[in-house]
Amino acid sequence: MKKAGIRIFFTSYCLLLIGLLTSEDLLAQRNELGFGLGGATYTGDIIRKVDPSQLGIQGTLFGRRNFDNVWSLRAGISFARLNAADSINPIDAAAAYRNAGFKGSVFEATAVMEYHFLDFTHPQSQYRYSPYGFFGLGYSFFSGEGQTYQGDPNAGDYSLGTPIIPFGLGIKYKLNDRWTLAMELGFRATFSDLFDKIDSKNANIPRFPDPSNQNVPYGINYGSYGDKDWYYFLGLTLSYSFNSVQCYSY
């Protein structure tokens, strides 16, 4: 039932995006279509800081509505592969003993507002580039497999959905009146602590052995209590404007 709801959500979002981009003012020099490719990673209970040795791939399709020379609305759908494992780069000795790990796919739908710091779209502008920032809302669905600790009887497939807050920054460069190339770093703040299959609500098991009682389990299910999981995109995008650049008036 949950997966059916997710499919309905993403189908409705795609139809809304198509409707936005095929409206009657498609040729009013306002709309763009684009795609992007790059890398993805996560931080949580297995990776505390971004680890270049544990990267996945990501791709995106998006539409953009330019309101003026400064503000744009971008709606898009993205796919990414995320993975992390204590066995690759444990954060400490207890993490190596824990041996948690996961891998899976993220599907997300987002809508963000972009703010451009330079007027690079004006035909007479001295700039062909502009830094920009963005902020918005979205929803993410994750499906993967993993284990919370070595010998976890509940290891295997799992899935979850969560609202997300996407934000970040980048730089755009106009190749010509129709094509724009951009490099972008995006952050995804989630409302879930379960991307890595480690639930901070579980009973607190000691991270290190008890010298007085070696039979007490330790290090198999500890996490960062109170912190939610994040994931990140870094990549290039290429977008196409359906008509020549419009000179907006303020």
**Residue ranges of domains in the chain:** 2-21+31-241
Q: For residue 134, how many other CB atoms are within 10 A of its CB? A: 20
Q: How far apart are CA 141 and CA 231, in angstroms?
A: 12
Q: How far apart are CA 217 and CA 210, in angstroms?
A: 9
List per-residue pLDDT tens for the chain, 250 residues long.
455 555 656 666 666 556 655 554 544 457 899 999 999 999 998 998 999 999 999 999 999 999 888 999 999 999 999 999 999 999 888 788 888 999 999 999 999 999 999 988 777 778 889 999 999 999 999 999 999 888 788 899 999 999 999 999 999 999 988 899 999 999 999 999 999 988 766 555 665 666 676 665 555 556 666 689 999 999 999 999 986 545 555 4
**Which residues does residue 63 pair with via DSSP β-bridges, in sequence order?**
33, 75
Q: Is the dihedral of CA 172, 64, 117, 170 positive or negative?
A: negative
Quick one: pLDDT at residue 97?
Answer: 80
Q: Comparing C-alpha atoms, which of 112, 159, 162 is closest to residue 132?
A: 112
Ramachandran class of 29: left when φ > 0, alpha when ψ lies in -120 to 50, beta otherwise? left
Quick one: pLDDT at residue 233?
Answer: 98
Q: How many helices (H) and strands (E) does the chain have?
A: 2, 8
- CATH number, domain 2-21+31-241: 2.40.160.20
Quick one: pLDDT at residue 83?
Answer: 96
Quick one: pLDDT at residue 210?
Answer: 63
